[in-house]
Amino acid sequence: MPIQVTVCDGIFLVTIDNPPVNALSQAEREGLIAAVNAARVAQAEAMVLVGANGTFIAGADVREFGLPPAPPHLPEVVNSIEGAPFPIVAAIDGQALGGGLEIALGCHFRIATAKAKLGLPEVTLGLVPGAGGTQLLPRLVAPQLAANLISGGKPWSAAEAIEAGLIDSIAQGDLVAEAVELARQVRGTVPEERRLSSRTPEATPDLIAALDKLEKATRRRARGAEAPVIAVGLVRTALTTSFEEGAALERETFLRLRASKQAAALRHIFFAERAAAKAPTDVADGQAREIASVGIVGAGTMGTGIAMSVADAGLPVIIVELSGEALQRGLERICQGYENSVARGRLNAEEAAARVGRIAGSTDYADLANCDLVIEAAFESIDVKHDIFARLTAVVKPGALLASNTSYLDLDEIAERSGRPADVVGLHYFSPANVMRLLEVVRGRHSSADALVTALAFAKRTKKVPVVAGVCNGFIGNRMLKAYVREAGLLVAEGATPVQVDEALVRFGMAMGPFAVADLSGIDIAYKARKSMSPGSYEPLAVALHDALVEAGHLGQKTGSGFYVYEPHGQNYAPNPILNSMIERIRNAAGIVPRAVADVEIVDRCMFALANEGGFILDEGIAARPGDIDVVYVNGYGFPRHRGGPMFYAQQYGLKAVRSRMAEFAEGRFGQWWTLSGFWAENASRVLEPS
């Protein structure tokens, strides 16, 4: 039974037991109301709500996502609990999230363990709380704190919760025993002030002004996502209307958002991430090898970032570099990174020291001999990779996993040169590797089932979002990026400016525009990579401006100028004045008469270039599902999560409309790049298939 009830000395102990996280399905909602009604009939003196399985209630049941909710609805449950004629204590262990926290807010007292997490993360699914959360919470804690919690979606720790006043105490011993003792102390009639809906928060002009300011900041941060901004407004409503009016507006808003395109997109990416993390069916029987220690070759920016990611997960790691000087620079970079985290309050000094202590350095490959996993993170040169893997094969123990962080090179060639290709996979991290969540797990032609399953388990342990990719130039993400950058560059050649392109795509929701990204990463990196590319594999005119900047010494932020000019040690930047003359020369040489380019064309060409290239990737089996591509772009390339990824965005745009738009682009001067992929040309059923 999902709801279990025991009675002792007039106190009802109600246990929610719906493994693994006590999600609030219809059965749990119905059972909770039944338990409260039974306690009413029995004239209970108090009740304690507790969750089994080491957690309270982790929110809605994902199996009901996208389906019409079956009665009783959650507001009825919360109202039943809050309106009980006896005190109800929420005993919170583990997670009290979403509807779980709303249940706890309906209770009259709240006690939690030190490890508890409490929050209202509905905005991460394009929603707002729908059972009174935006109205009850600001009647319990400071409204600004409530608005931050709800609009940010990130839960509070127990320490943060008690400081804010969300919980009454933190259990020092057995949670249930202490909750029952509290119930005994407060048994009898519920004091009216413990019912949050009866409270009237004070709406001072300063408080309203502060919420207005937060709403504006949230709108900037949300990059077009609706729910976070709406959530702040609902908290403000709690200060200016009755609870009944506010709760009705909240519920109406919740139902409207639940049917929105943004909520559908966020549900899609939620499930797509879960699907991507699972091993492909043909290797599901593979046995994950134990990873107890990790080695990294290369102490540059990527290598040190990977090392921090591994150390953050509690694993010891050793970094090998060719020279002591390069190794020392890398270790200093790591120490500085952790010092910055402490200064920003993200880590305490003790934990930072512990993580630094897990990282060792060496200039001797022999020190990698006993590592269970070695990740090569050296310069992007096939000859360099061959040399490193030859050295690794000579020293690393049999059965150890060997991984390359290459972002473009042929993993199969690297694996074959290693002499043990079954043990080789790609682990393509994104910089900064200790921050970015995406990890492309590249499956080589000879990668064994055990190797692939081990890589996915390692990704999960280090809190990465993995996506399995096949071998091709650029794998999933960087291969698609070439198409995106191509269209951005051609749009400038035809009449737009880099600033216009960047601004149009940022308004669409991208974290940064393609030209600002090039400045950040270094324009010369792709310039050097193109030197080894075959003619016809890219459009020269699309990168003519990039090449001109590099050849003039404007490499991006690292030289203080690129597409933009940057103030020394500052965040301010402006368009590089040298661009106008460069663009004019490029257009003249190509015989292009510039035209006005609308922002809608910028977005459509860049987005559909991504989606079409994604289609070719699916045609070739480089990615297994459209959702895998979306996971890559949302987690690695700044694609707005509330749009679901480039494949889902194109799906929502409409198959017929997408084909029509691509056909328009195919008729233009650069139409040779708009051959329709088989995915979009023929397989409409695959487009509409849920992830």
- State how far the Cα of 272 lies from the Cα of 648, in Å rounded to an integer: 11
Residue 501 Cα to chain centre, angstroms: 25
Three-state DSSP class for residue 139: helix
Name which of 233, 281, 241 is nearest 257 in CA terms: 233
Question: Residue 148 has which token pair?
Answer: 């931050």
Percent helix, strand and coil across the chain, each to the nearest 5: 55, 10, 35
**Counting Cβ atoms within 10 Å, is residue 600 exposed (0-12), middle (13-18) or buried (19+)?**
exposed
Q: Which runs of consecutive H residues, i.e. helices, occur in 358-476? A: 382-395, 411-418, 449-461
Tell me, what amino acid is at 339? E
Can you tell me whether residue 108 is helix, strand or coil?
coil
Tell me if 94 sits within 8 A of 51, measured CB to CB: yes
Residues annotated as catalytic are 102, 122
Q: 199 CB contacts (<8 Å, ≥6 apart)?
A: 139, 140, 193
Kindly list the strands in the beta sheet with 3-8, ordered across the sheet, starting from the edge strand earlier in the chain.
3-8, 11-16, 46-51, 88-92, 109-112, 169-170
Sequence-distant (≥ 6) Cβ neighbours of residue 569 within 8 angstroms: none
9: left (phi over 0), alpha (psi -120 to 50) or beta: left
Contact 456, 279 (CB under 8 A): yes
Contact assessment for residue 178 and residue 148, using Cβ atoms and an 8 Å cutoff: no
Which token pair is 518?
């090039």
Amino acid, single-letter form, for residue 182: L
**Number of CB atoms found within 10 A of residue 274's CB:** 14
Report the DSSP pairing between strands 317-320 and 359-362: parallel
Do 557 and 566 contact (CB within 8 A), yes or no?
Answer: yes
Q: Tokens representing 537? A: 């594999």
* Sign of the four-CA dihedral 535, 539, 545, 549: negative
CA angle 510/513/518 to nearest 5° reads 130
Taking the chain, what is the end-to-end CA distance rounded to the nearest angstrom? Answer: 31
Dihedral pair phi/psi, residue 576, rounded to 5°: -70, 120
| C-alpha 287, offset from chain centre | 28
Interior/surface letters 362-385, b for 16+ CB within 10 angstroms, e for the rest: eeebebbeebbbbbbbbeeeeeeb
Maximum C-alpha span of the chain: 91
Phi and psi at residue 62, to the nearest 5° = -60, -20
- CA–CA distance, 154 with 285 (Å, rounded to integer): 36
Structure tokens at 164: 């804010």
Q: Which pairing describes strands 424-429 and 156-157: parallel, antiparallel, or unpaired?
A: unpaired
Report which secondary-structure segment, H or E, holds 469: strand 465-469
Task: Determine the Cα–Cα distance for residues 103 and 82; give it in Å rounded to an integer.
Answer: 9
Torsion, Cα 220 225 231 236, to 10 degrees, reads 40
